[in-house]
Every structure is written in C-alpha cells, then in structure tokens.
Amino acid sequence: MKKFILLLSIIGFFSCNEKTEVNSAEANASNVNTEEQDSAPNFGIVIHGGAGTILKENMSDSLENAYRAKLEEAIRVGHEILANGGTSLEAVQATINVMEDSPLFNAGKGAVFTNAGTNEMDASIMDGATLDAGAVAGVTTVKNPIDLAYEVMVNSEHVMMAGKGAEIFAKQQEMEIVDPDYFYTESRYKSLKRIKESEQTELDHDSRSAFVDPFIKDSKFGTVGCAALDKHGNLAAGTSTGGMTNKKWGRIGDAPIIGAGTYANNKTCAVSGTGWGEFFIRGVVAYDISALMEYQGLSLQEAARRVIQEKNPELGGNGGIIAIDHEGNVSMEFNTAGMYRAKMNKDGELEIGIYGE
C-alpha cells in the first residue's frame, strides 16, 4: 500500500511539473509575441480629400457613404503596401491614384473646370529620405498627374514641369495619356456654370468687382493628398488637384509647389495641404510645419495647430493639412467646417472623418 501511495506521489509530482513547464512555455511565448509586436517596425498613413464648407446638413446619406467608402478604399490600398514592406513613395502614389480615378474629388477624373471650360491639373510628390521632389502643373491629358510628378522626380534633373512640356515628357515616359474629355463630369461643369452666372450677377451689380472673383472662397476645395511612414523609417508626401473652379490665366495653386502644398523630411514629418492655395504659397505652409518641428522642437500636432489655426488665418487663408511624423504620430488639422480625411496605423486601426467633429 505504501509503495502504491509513493507511486501516485511520484506521478503527481511529474504531472504538476509538466503542467508548470507547459504554462511557463505558454507565458514565455505570449511575452515573445508581445515583445515582437512592440518591436515591429512602425508605419502609418494619412490622407485627405479636400477641405471647405462641408456640412452634414448639405450632405445626403448616399453621398456621405460614397465619400467614406472611397476614402477607406484609398487608404487601405496604401496601408497594404506599407504592411507588406513597400515604400512610403509607393503607398502615396497608389493611394492618390484611387482618389484621382474617382469623380468625387477635385483631382484627376473629378478635376474642376477652368474659366475656359478645360481641366488643368497639378501634382507633386516628395521623398523624405533624400528630399528629392517632382511636380507638374497645368497638365490636361495625363490620367494620373501624381504618377507624372513621380517620373519628373526620378527620371529628370528637374523638380517641376508645366503644360505642354510636361505632357511631352509624359509621353516619353510612356505614361497613360487620355483625351481631355475623360475628365469631364457633369457636376463639375454645372459648378462652373453656377459660378459664372453668379459672377456676372455680381459684376452687373457693382462694376468695381471686375478684378475680384467674389466666389473664390467657395470654388477651390477638393484637392487630394497622402502622407506615409514606411517600415524602413522613410517618409513621403504627395498632393494632386484640379485647382480652383473658374481659374483664369493659367493660375497655379500650392499643390505642385514643394514647401507650400507638399513637403517631406525624415528629420521631421511629411505634409500635404488643401485649401486656399495663394495663402498656402505665401505662408509656405507645409515646410513651415516641418521647420517649427526642426528648429523650435515643437511636436507635429503643435506645429500643425500653430500654422493652420493661427499663422495661415492671420494671412487671410483657410484650409487644412494631413501629416505624419518620423515616429508615426499623425495630424489632421483644418480651420474650415470640414475636411475629408482618414488615417491608419500599423495595427490597422482606421479612422475616417468628414465634418468638424
């Protein structure tokens, strides 16, 4: 009997010891997984689809859902590239392509009309690792202007090309060229007609308005942009736009101007802006945010807040920016009623916004 009890004790000891070892192994494995997750390379992406007088009461449920769906589609394309180890430049291009191909945004397919009834598009892109940049302005036949901006950056010695010259370069790079009619959308054309009619009414009422477009503030929004941080620690930003409805004389805004509408620097952040371009140019908005971080030691959020909520409005401008810094912190700052926007972090957490909530 004593031998039997001794045998049971020995079996029980080894059984408990085995369970302890198993539990310990499981705990160690859990700790390893947590540590691996914490030490995994950081990355993130943030986008905008324009800022302006975007009010809930003026938006139908179906249109709001369409915007949210397209923003999600666009950002998930870029996020997947980053998650799979792709570069921030690749993510920025691919994400903006989705928005350029949608008639919802004032870029590519949905570009607004000029006073002459044409569509003239601008775009720029910047590499935060090298400070290389490319930009195009006033192109009318390039399906995806952001891709042409990239080609200018990597396949030419220049930073910016414009008009017919940029389109000749696009053909040499074997880019997709489309007939200008591709960019026609009925809603954008109706917007041009409404602005022209209102402009004429204003001119008839007061001839002193002949050199002032009284509807300039309500005809400039819809630009798209993207900023991204990849697993390699590199930042990039890009912006694409059709510019301002009813623009004249070959007007060019901030979107293709490096430092105004687009900027990226691995030391600080990557920024894309949307708003009243003339004031973004005067304030060198995108670079100003980076400079405040580099020279004054401000956080991304504080730098963006100061520029968008204080400095730009003091000049008379309005709009917003999206940005991501070298640590993956994100800012989506705007001083208008709303801004189409979305962000995703390395954990795949998605946030989409439209109004000023």
140 is catalytic: no
Question: Within 10 Å of residue 205's Cβ, how many Cβ atoms?
Answer: 10
In the 3-class helix/strand/coil scheme, how is the chain assigned residue by residue?
Answer: CHHHHHHHHHHHHHHHHHHHHHHHHHHHHHHHHHHHHHHCCCCEEEEEEEEECCCHHHCCHHHHHHHHHHHHHHHHHHHHHHHCCCCHHHHHHHHHHHHHCCCCCCCHHHCCCCCCCCCCEEEEEEECCCCCEEEEEEECCECCHHHHHHHHHHHCCCCEEEHHHHHHHHHHCCCCECCHHHHCCHHHHHHHHHHHHHHHHHHHHCHHHHHCCCCHHHCCCCCEEEEEECCCCCEEEEEEECCCCCCCCCCCCCCCCECCCEEECCCCEEEEEEECHHHHHHCCHHHHHHHHHHHHCCCHHHHHHHHHHHHHHHHCCCEEEEEEECCCCEEEEECCCEEEEEEEECCCCEEEEEECC
Catalytic-labelled residue, pool 223, 239, 262, 268: 223
Report the catalytic residues: 223
